[in-house]
Homo-oligomer: A and B are copies of this chain.
Amino acid sequence: MSYVAPVKDLMFNLQHLAGLEQVARLPGFEDAGLETAQAVLEECARLNQEVIAPLNWEGDKYPSSYHDGKVSTTPGFKQAFHQFAEGGWQGLQHPVQFGGQGLPKSIGAACVEMFNSANLSFALCPLLTDGAIEALLTAGTEEQKQLFLPPMIAGEWTGTMCLTEPQAGSDLALVRSRAEPQADGSYKVFGTKIFITYGEHDYTPNIVHLVLARIPGAPEGVKGISLFIVPKFVLDAEGQPGARNDVRCVSIEHKLGIKASPTAVLQFGDHGGAEGYLVGQANRGLEYMFIMMNAARFAVGLQGIAVAERAYQKAVAFARERLQSRPVDGSSAQAAPIIVHPDVKRMLLTMRAYTEGCRAMASVAAAAYDGAHHHPDDAARAQNASFYEFLVPLVKGYSTEMSIEVASLGVQVHGGMGFVEETGAAQYYRDARILTIYEGTTAIQANDFVGRKTLRDGGRTARAVAAQIEATEAELQASGSAHALALREQLQAARLAFLDAVAFVLEHAKANPNAVFAGSVPYLLLGGNLVAGWQLARALLVAERELAAGREAEFMRTKILTARFYADHLLSRAGSQRDSIVAGHAAVTEISPDAF
């Protein structure tokens, strides 16, 4: 089997770190306890292992192709998507009212990871559809919801996010697409959108594009952008796909990775205007788009964890089989499986520690999302919301940056075979490379982390998180084991480094924004490193208790060692990350752009 879903680790996180039992006490989630989670995850694992994962390499070999306005996806993908839809997976986290299963994001996130481990290109389609669903749930009219949500949630139609234009990537202020109001209340949409994931495909009979465009007379910049529904086929009186709308795919990109997922250039309105419907209020498009973006950013973070897991599994399998060189300790005169060599163990532990740390962080974030949306208490909702919002750029930024490093190590473990495409390790290295770019580059995540997540509340959330971490340090101290004490030391150092960075950001953002933003990405990475390490510290404490209780000894021992490794090799980077932030801006601010 090319992929075995890490159900045990996902359940460990749900039970012990994310507190699924608390989530299941929230109104609406009464049936979403551990038993449900276990059943859902196992079913999800089966579909991914048996159906979707085997298509991954096929998608790389036979990418989606374009001909005359139509996109043909890789053979087998359409059928797999139908199985996915029939299993109800698109609706997993969406409201029962529109045909969804209404499960918490905690459980949903575990499933999203699996789909993406199995096949990043495949899972991108539901990922974007999820975002479109969330935007419509929040801002759509009742009629729009009734028309579009049931088929989208059922996986009968898919959704897209049409933001980027040739001149407007990270900077949506530059969006030029326009939407002209019509007498019947609809709009005619005109413009070119690029990098539209699954902007055209053959999975489903309709595609619901959510498009950013300007209404004539709207203010300049981001405050003049509105959001529109532009279906590929305009709905007929029965709500079924009717007339072909004036949106056409004119080409797809030839990409480094995720080749099975078509990345479309879409032309709106070349033949009189594409029929579109305003979502929510005019000029508030960016706000609604952020709903989609936030959902998508979190999910892209899961993609990082997912591809890291898959790369790890492949590297472990190779390292067990490949015989090369005698053990350095002289314990055998024969060439040994390379998995016994310390440097290979170091590489595999790096991959594993990163993956498990980020997975734990994402699991906790998902539970916070559930609390933010379902907790009956206002204060608890608000607290969960700010924790979740704080974590989103970390989950997105840190998990995707680490995934490139992990996928690269995966190639390295394979040696020369890693560079041969047929081996498959290189695909993860190529696929992972998009993750730090789309749905907001790492720099954009860092801007968000600095601006909206640190400055806006004057560092309150950042310091509240640090205080929670300090409590974990005390628990590690109380444990007293060598591993716990080593972790405590690194966790404390990392927390203090982070607090230094927070203070620096708060102190200098106004007077010297160039200095602060010179360190924004290191600040984001320090935050991610700290929170992931913290969650592994919590996991270590749980594992020590479970081990003492005689449960799952092997799993728990490995969890402890993985946490220990994380502390010694990754959390220990916090000091130099802090230095980059608080003392690293001189050259960046001083150098002239002409000097490069």
Contacts and interface: CB of A to CB of B under 8 A. Distances in A.
Contact of A593 (B195, B328, B345): B345
Interface string A429-456: 1100110111001110010000000000
Interface in A416-436: 416, 418-422, 426, 429-430, 433-434, 436
Q: For the side of the interface on A, what is the size category?
A: 35 or more
Interface string A37-63: 000000000000000000000000000
A463 interface: no
A335 B174 contact: yes
A589 interface: yes
Nearest to A404: B408
Given A169-B324, A256-B429, A411-B433, A342 B596 contact: no
Contacts of A561: 587, 590-591, 595
Nearest to A557: B595
A579 interface: yes
A342 B518 contact: yes
A382 interface: no
A271 interface: no
A583 B568 contact: yes
A171 B586 CA distance: 46
Contacts of A340: 593
A129 to B, nearest CB: 20
Of residues A256, A324, A521, which shows the largest number of chain B Cβ atoms within 10 Å of its Cβ? A256
A441 B322 CA distance: 15
20 contacts: A164-B416, A254-B422, A256-B411, A256-B421, A316-B596, A319-B596, A329-B513, A342-B517, A343-B443, A343-B520, A419-B433, A430-B430, A486-B586, A558-B591, A558-B595, A561-B590, A573-B573, A575-B575, A575-B576, A576-B576
Contact of A580 (B330, B519, B568, B593): B568
A349 B519 CA distance: 13
